[in-house]
Chain A
């Protein structure tokens, strides 16, 4: 299975990414950002939202309804791969701006689970603790870390 995704651009530090969502509502710029949460643990928050073409403001609450949510999530997954190529030890935390958005994230992980579980440790946050992600289960938040793909032969 291949990731259906948009092409995207990144800043020099690979912390910020931008791509264009294309659909019935037109071309909508979206920005993905990885923000440092805890330096010692190399924990980053992953979030994304729409960029207003006129003001440049970023909004993660807007409902774009551009008919391409799966492709958008595929693009976010691709950005995670790109980010982890630069920061292979990083932990990446993500949660939705609403419960519905968090469920959308879960759906995205479910859809691409077979691809990403080969390369990432994936956990979901229950009421009490982190547990390994179980397909179909609802979580408050998610956290992933790139598996160590380097070994000596």
Chain B
């Protein structure tokens, strides 16, 4: 495979001891993890929010959220079953002595002395998918250019790409389009909030202008954003080699009550976060999450960028006359 992109992932650290948190922080830095510490008593509300996470580090004697860490783990597992939970224990780095009802909710246990042994488990559960650097860089370039084209007079900021294991739906509007090639099969998904997007339409900052905007207007905007990025992705990364359309499919499941979408796989997903900003400050910043879910097939060793043919040098937007 080509050089892999250096991805990160956020992890929620539930630990009362500042010194231990220091050890965990050092471990996180060494393993491309970004530790997130909730406000006191706010762990469950963080989990119900839109924070994208890769895992949870929980102290067995954690005093927050009622002081019963094992029960807290069960509650977390009920809310976000896809998130691996790593239990920090004082003396034992195994789960053998826990009652069955608790043992099943943890991925592994560790002590501060054995924390480095979690490395392979972290790699397997969060970073099991390697993404070619050229792919991640290309996705970012394509998406940023498209957003700058579809929103007028804006600045588009991107954050470092990261991996998530949760399957939350952010905001009220999401679009989904299949990606099919010899090296990947799955979906590209965009998620965003309705209100700021309405503002952009109402303020004439998209190619549709209507004040007040309605939900169909913003659907059209995100639909075209998705279409343009899908097209550019295909042109850059998907070759003309035939794909076997008889390959399997799995149902997608959406549960609105829990803002949850399942692609039939708990594999980690590549996530990129973009913020569309009005430099004049008149319109609320618009946050757009882009996820790649290669739930049906993933063979990065077959990935390659399409070569630009020398007789096909027309830029986007130029007319090629026949």
A binds B: no
Residues of B within 8 A of A (CB): none
Residues of A within 8 A of B (CB): none
